[in-house]
Homo-oligomer: A and B are copies of this chain.
Amino acid sequence: MARQERAIRTRKAILEAAGAVFDEHGYASTTIAMVLERAEVTKGALYFHFPSKESLAQAVLDEQLPFGTVPPHPCKLQEIIDITFVFGQRLVGNSLLQGSVRLTVDQCAPPGVDHTGPYRQWAELLVALMQQAREQGELLPTVVLRDTVELLVGAFAGVQQMSRALSGREDLGHRISVLWSHILPSIAVPGLLLGLDSKPDRGTRILADIELSGY
């Protein structure tokens, strides 16, 4: 294995271990030693990639957005819906993502770590997609893009947390579907409503398609 490839693998193993430990224990109670033990890498390798707990937390936070990647869809509102379901579905099984989300929503912001980053990055990404949706005539004229987007981001954060607390995220697909069924009539033009797919298993189906197509 080439040196660079090995370094990438080691970094990935550390981030996955860190995500799992942050998810289980939260930022304050996590120690580098706990991550080391979980990642099964040397202390030197860990400090080579991440010189501090802060930098480890920041890296885990920075990994969050790519988990919302979905195939582009001609209808941009459907693409936004898809992002929420795919992100939710990935959240169920991925400990790096779980740790990243916990660091975002947990309120103790350690000095040197910007835990509000994902809120703002999600908002930027979704405002851009909403802008495209607007240009394509998908949105009601009453929609204020930033208000709608920040509501989606905040509500999603809370819904996934409640799902985690009450069912270990088993009912997350259903809860995301309920979120959309309440919000879509206020933002989508009526002609679009029936054609949008926000059924609870939307995430599972998209992920299956992605695997088949190798997207």
Given contacts A165-B119, A186-B186, whether A107 and B26 have CB atoms under 8 Å apart is: yes
Which of chain B's residues have a CB closer than 8 A to the CB of A196?
A: none
In the assembled complex, the CB of A146 is this many whole angstroms from the nearest CB of chain B, namely: 10
User: Which of A61-69, A72-80, A149-157, A206-214 forms part of the interface with chain B?
Assistant: A149-157
Within 8 Å of chain B (Cβ to Cβ): is A204?
no
In the assembled complex, the CB of A183 is this many whole angstroms from the nearest CB of chain B, namely: 5
In the assembled complex, the CB of A25 is this many whole angstroms from the nearest CB of chain B, namely: 7
Q: Which of A151, A155, A175, A178 has the most CB of B within 10 A?
A: A155
Contact with B along A93-125 (1 / 0, CB 8 A): 000000000100111110000011001100000
Oligomer: number of copies: 2
Which of chain B's residues have a CB closer than 8 A to the CB of A150?
A: 162, 175, 178
Which of chain B's residues have a CB closer than 8 A to the CB of A162?
A: 119, 150, 153-154, 157
Within 8 Å of chain B (Cβ to Cβ): is A4?
no
Which of chain B's residues have a CB closer than 8 A to the CB of A161?
A: 105, 107, 154, 157-158
| Cβ contact within 8 Å between A159 and B154 | yes
What interface size band does chain A fall in? 35 or more
Within 8 Å of chain B (Cβ to Cβ): is A42?
no
| Cβ contact within 8 Å between B182 and A186 | yes
| Cβ contact within 8 Å between B178 and A187 | no
Which of chain B's residues have a CB closer than 8 A to the CB of A186?
A: 181-183, 185-186
Mind listing 26 A-B residue pairs with CB under 8 Å?
A23-B107, A25-B108, A28-B28, A29-B108, A102-B107, A105-B107, A107-B161, A116-B166, A119-B162, A148-B178, A148-B182, A150-B175, A151-B155, A151-B159, A151-B175, A151-B178, A151-B179, A154-B161, A155-B158, A155-B159, A157-B161, A157-B162, A158-B158, A158-B159, A182-B183, A182-B186
Q: Which residues of A pack against B, CB within 8 Å?
A: 23, 25-26, 28-29, 102, 105-109, 115-116, 119-120, 147-148, 150-151, 153-159, 161-166, 175, 178-179, 181-183, 185-187
